[in-house]
Amino acid sequence: MNLSGSDLNELADLAILSATEAGQMIARSRPTNVARKARSGSLAAQVVTEIDRSSEQIILDVLTPTLERFELGLLTEERDDDSSRLSADHFWCIDPLDGTLPYIDGSPGYAVSIALVTRDGTPQIGVIYDPVDATMLHAIAGVGAFRDGTPWPTTPEPGDDVLSVFADRSFVTDDNHDLVVDALSAIAQEAGLAGIELHTTAGAVMNACAVLRHPPACYFKFPKPTGGGSLWDFAATACLFHEVGAVATDMVGDPLDLNRADASAMSHRGVLFASDETVAQGIRALRPGGDSSR
């Protein structure tokens, strides 16, 4: 089914409504019934709370009627992939609570994330609600990006004097941590910056959003055999990045594979969010575990 501009606006409004309702519930709640999912990967990928499931239900209560009306598929983190995303022209891609670990800890870095993605993996709508700051970010392909309903500033915010690097918690204990940090420091030095600041407390969605708030900055995950985050971790922020002219690609510069047919994980090609192409090129040249020269 082809979606018109008015269809996308209506669907964006519904996604904003559902994300706001879910996010406000999360803001009022504390984690209950913390459990492990039956999947491999990092602790962040395994842990789930009753609030994750409650948030998902709030979102689906709003968005389920759109599945039949607009012939949409559905992919959401807390339910099995029914493969409807592979046959529908568009599908909802939902992370009802990204950043469950910081949520459990009671620290910032978690969000509700909803995207509408085409069958070929192009994000059309991205909606992110931050329960801590009660902030709504959203984007519609070809229309623009918005912060609490206000168009994203057309004048870039002043850049910091350091390269802000956002990474997952697991990066701290990664075998290549020191190698990558040294290479990032060299990138910062070549750019005339004072150094790097490493942040490893937030989930994938808020890490990506932080890149836009603290340029020059990056958030990345190198390719690896398994894990690497999932489609729902990156779809909404990719739409946001596209609309503000920032970089959201895999680690070789190709578009993110946001409707991977054989799995929902993004480990095969990695992900890279960067405030600008110069930073992105430096990150892509890194070779952890091998030649790290650029």
- CATH number for 5-151: choose from 3.40.50.140, 3.30.450.40, 3.30.70.20, 3.30.540.10: 3.30.540.10
Q: Which residue shows structure tokens 């009671």?
A: 106
- Give dist(CA 115, CA 197) in Å, integer: 30
Q: Which residue shows structure tokens 């850049």?
A: 159
- Give dist(CA 109, CA 268) in Å, integer: 25
Cβ neighbours for 92, distance < 8 A, ≥ 6 positions apart: 15, 63, 66, 67, 72, 73, 74, 75, 76, 114, 115, 116
Q: Which of 55-69, 137-151, 172-186, 191-205 has the lowest mean pLDDT?
A: 172-186
267-280 residue pLDDT tens: 889 999 999 999 99
Domain(s) labelled CATH 3.30.540.10 in the chain stretch across 5-151
Percent of the chain's residues with pLDDT above 70: 90
Domain 163-284, what fold? D-Maltodextrin-Binding Protein; domain 2 (3.40.190)
- Give dist(CA 11, CA 4) in Å, integer: 11
Mean pLDDT of the 129-145 span: 97
Burial track 72-107 (b if 16+ CB lie within 10 A, e otherwise): bbbbbbbeebeeebeebebbbbbbbbbbbbbbeeee
| pLDDT (0 to 100) of residue 33 | 62
Mean pLDDT of the 72-91 span: 96
Domain(s) labelled CATH 3.40.190.80 in the chain stretch across 163-284
Residue 49 — pLDDT band, cuts 50, 70, 90?
Answer: confident
**pLDDT above 80 for 157:** no
Mean pLDDT of the 182-186 span: 94
